[in-house]
């Protein structure tokens, strides 16, 4: 895995160059601004050459989204884990929103692109498919933060809800803020940082209540 032949190195470089160019185009001109011909022009290949590396435009987009989630997870993972749980979760949420606001079109694409022909349902029927969530890298970061907040007594659990339910609650709240910031509220010139923090604070009070 570590040692690559010169050919494989070239392949990987081109593969990545295509994805980088695609990501940049999407970030600047939106997903509708991405064309195979334009993409080919940027990396100085003919349009047909792209099909040596990817089966279709859809596959390219899928790969860009996949790498996007990796960068996203990395971004969230960079939040200082030595912070007290309450602050940590707040900053985690703000990082989530920040990522969205700084790459609005890209974020939008990530969260509106359905995974291509996922092989989920392999363990299927019986098993609760929310397991998929728990396996998700960025959700796991949140989940660990929540578990710590429970240990620190910041959030209370009950018969109905444990760490998973609390994490879900935080997720939807933050995701809603991020999403609205990037769609409905996008062109409203107003700084939402303060109200977002306040809003999160209110939610934490609910999570702390018995």
Partner DNA sequence: TACAATACTGAACATTGTTCAGAAAATTAA
Partner DNA sequence: TTAATTTTCTGAACAATGTTCAGTATTGTA
Summarize as ranges the residues that interact with DNA (CB under 7 A).
5-7, 10-11, 14, 34-38, 40, 44-49, 51-53, 55-58
CA dist., res. 71 & res. 65, Å (int): 10
CB of 58 to DNA, least distance (A): 6
CB of 201 to DNA, least distance (A): 44
Judged by beta carbon distances under 5 to 8 A according to partner kind, the member of DNA, a second copy, none in contact with residue 199 is: a second copy
Contacts with a second copy, residue ranges (CB under 8 A): 108, 111-112, 114, 118, 120-121, 128-130, 132-133, 160-161, 165-166, 168-169, 171-177, 179-180, 183-190, 195, 198-199, 202-207, 209
Q: Percentages helix, strand, coil for the chain, rounded to the nearest 5? A: 70, 0, 30
Residue 177: closest CA among 190, 196, 194: 196
Judged by beta carbon distances under 5 to 8 A according to partner kind, the member of a second copy, DNA, none in contact with residue 174 is: a second copy
Indicate the residue among 58 and 165 with the shorter CB distance to DNA.
Answer: 58
CA dist., res. 98 & res. 181, Å (int): 10
CB of 56 to DNA, least distance (A): 3
Judged by beta carbon distances under 5 to 8 A according to partner kind, the member of DNA, a second copy, none in contact with residue 28 is: none
Judged by beta carbon distances under 5 to 8 A according to partner kind, the member of DNA, a second copy, none in contact with residue 34 is: DNA
Residue 106: closest CA among 158, 65, 157, 161: 65
CA dist., res. 15 & res. 63, Å (int): 10
Q: How far is CA 45 from CA 13, 41, 121, 157, in A?
A: 14, 6, 39, 57
CB of 184 to a second copy, least distance (A): 7
**Spatial contact of 108 and 183, defined as CB atoms under 8 Å apart:** yes
Indicate the residue among 33 and 162 with the shorter CB distance to DNA.
Answer: 33
CA dist., res. 210 & res. 203, Å (int): 13
Judged by beta carbon distances under 5 to 8 A according to partner kind, the member of DNA, a second copy, none in contact with residue 47 is: DNA
**Spatial contact of 83 and 61, defined as CB atoms under 8 Å apart:** no
Indicate the residue among 57 and 144 with the shorter CB distance to DNA.
Answer: 57
């Amino acid at each position: 895995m570590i040692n690559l032949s010169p050919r494989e190195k070239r392949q990987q470089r081109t593969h990545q160059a295509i994805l980088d160019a695609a990501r940049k185009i999407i970030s600047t001109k939106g997903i509708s601004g991405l064309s195979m011909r334009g993409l080919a022009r940027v990396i100085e290949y003919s349009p047909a050459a792209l099909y040596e590396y990817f089966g279709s435009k859809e596959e390219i987009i899928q790969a860009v989204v996949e790498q996007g989630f990796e960068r996203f997870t990395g971004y969230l993972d960079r939040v200082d884990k030595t912070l007290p749980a309450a602050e940590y979760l707040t900053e985690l949420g703000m990082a989530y929103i920040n990522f969205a606001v700084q790459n609005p079109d890209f974020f939008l694409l990530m969260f509106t692109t359905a995974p291509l022909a996922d092989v989920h349902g392999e363990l299927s029927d019986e098993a609760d498919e929310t397991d998929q969530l728990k396996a998700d890298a960025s959700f796991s970061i949140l989940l660990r933060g929540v578990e710590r907040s429970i240990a620190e007594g910041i959030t209370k659990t009950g018969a109905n809800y444990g760490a998973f339910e609390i994490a879900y609650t935080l997720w939807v709240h933050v995701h809603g803020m991020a999403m609205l910031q990037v769609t409905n509220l996008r062109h409203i010139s107003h700084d939402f940082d303060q109200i977002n923090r306040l809003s999160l604070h209110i939610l934490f009070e609910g999570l702390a209540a018995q």
